[in-house]
Structures are given as C-alpha cells and as structure tokens.
Amino acid sequence: MERIGVFIDNAYFEKACRNLGVPRVDYLQFSEELCRKQGGKRFRTYVYDCMPFQSNPPTEKERERYSKKYKFRKKLERLPKFVTRWGHLKKTSQQDKPFQQKGVDILLAIDLVKLSWTGKIDTAVLVSGDSDYAPAVGQAKEANVLTILYYDGNTYVHDELFDLSDDREEITKELLEKCGLDVTSCLSARGATRPAGRR
C-alpha cells in the first residue's frame, strides 16, 4: 500500500474551513479521509503554522489568543503520526495585512523534498494554494512522488502550484463535515466551490 504524507498549511486550511462554515474539524479524521480517498496509508501528517503575535508586554487579547493557540498546538502534537512545524509572525506596516508569516513555507518545502527523495512517501497531499510551494512540488515529482493538491476555490490557489500538481481536489463542505466535530481540532475552518480565486 502506498505511503501518503499529508502537508497542511494551517493558515490556508483555517480560511478554507471558515468559508464553508465548518467551525471545527477533526484533523486526524481529515487526514485519514484524504488518504482514504487516495487509496493509501497515512505515513504522517505535517501541520505548518505560526503562534500569534504578542506585544511586549502583551495585551489581554493577545494573551488569550496565544493561550488558545498553544492548547490547539499541544492537542495536534498528541495526535498519532502528527508533526507540527512553527514559523513566526512579523509585524508589517500594511493595514490590510498587519502580520506576515515567516519560515512556514521553507519548513514545508524542506519536509516535502526530504521525504520524497528519501523514499519515505509515495504520494504527497498538500493543503495550500501558495506559489512558494511550487518548487518543492516539482522536486517531489522528480523523485517520482505523486502530488495531490487540496485547494479552496473561494479564496485562491496560485496558477503555478495548481498546474504543477499531478492532481487537484477541491475542499468541500461535504468533505469537512465527514470529519466531524472534535475537541482535537479547534480554531476555525473554511472551504471552496471553484478555483475562482486563482491568480
């Protein structure tokens, strides 16, 4: 049976879940469902995210947000065959985008390329829409790893990443609802209908 690595860009996935109005998703069930759809066995799930920004000293809202995220992080890390990788948030001067993730894309790219070229996985399932991952997807394909992109049609998926992937599946409300509600997942979640947001 083929070994499948699941790679979740969590900021993207949370947006997807919010779009579809699914307040909480069981990450373990979601990962297993993606692997079941591909007909393989889950090797591991890798989740990439950032802890919330905190001022010095942090405000009460910042403390509360950080505490919720920390609890979410610990729950994920206790799930079977789950690995979390954490970048950091950098403050920007843009009003529409006050914070920017740093380090997340490179952490995902390293894992995807390393697992592909060491033969640990046969299939890579990527939940994202960011063009930064396109070179890593290309490298995975060079290593004869099948690449499956799960994307949110209501936000965006970059043309380069969409076109380079071996196959594409849209995140739907039905898919998320299959994964039930569970305390192991937390924060919000969102979805898609068509790749209208491709850019």
Looking up residue 39, the CATH number of its domain turns out to be 3.40.50.1010
pLDDT recorded at residue 84: 96
Distance (Å) of CA 27 to CA 33, 112, 160, 197: 10, 19, 27, 25
Does 5 have pLDDT greater than 90? yes
Residue ranges making up the domain that contains 32: 3-197
In the chain, the percentage of residues whose pLDDT exceeds 70 is 82
pLDDT at 180 over 70: no
> Is the pLDDT at 53 greater than 60, yes or no?
yes
Question: Higher pLDDT residue, 185 or 21?
Answer: 21
On whether the CB atoms of residues 104 and 136 are closer than 8 A, the answer is no
pLDDT exceeds 60 at position 108:
yes
Q: Which region holds residue 182: left if phi is over 0, alpha if psi is between -120 and 50, else beta?
A: beta
Check residue 98 and give its pLDDT.
57
CA 118/CA 108 separation, integer angstroms? 16
162 falls in which pLDDT band (50, 70, 90)?
very high
* C-alpha atoms less than 13 angstroms from C-alpha of 145 in its C-beta half-sphere: 28
Q: How many domains does the chain have?
A: 1
Q: Is 45 helix (H, G, I), strand (E, B) or coil?
A: strand
> Residue 62 — very low, low, confident or very high, per pLDDT cuts 50/70/90?
confident
Indicate whether 198 pLDDT > 60: no
pLDDT above 50 for 182? no
Residue partners of 172: CB distance under 8 A and separation at least 6: 20, 191, 192, 193
pLDDT interval class at 97 (50, 70, 90): low
Asked if residue 196 has pLDDT above 80, the reply is no
pLDDT given for residue 181 in this prediction: 58
> pLDDT (tens digit, 9 = 90+) per residue, 111-144?
999 999 999 999 999 999 988 999 999 999 999 9
Q: Average of pLDDT values for 166-172?
A: 95
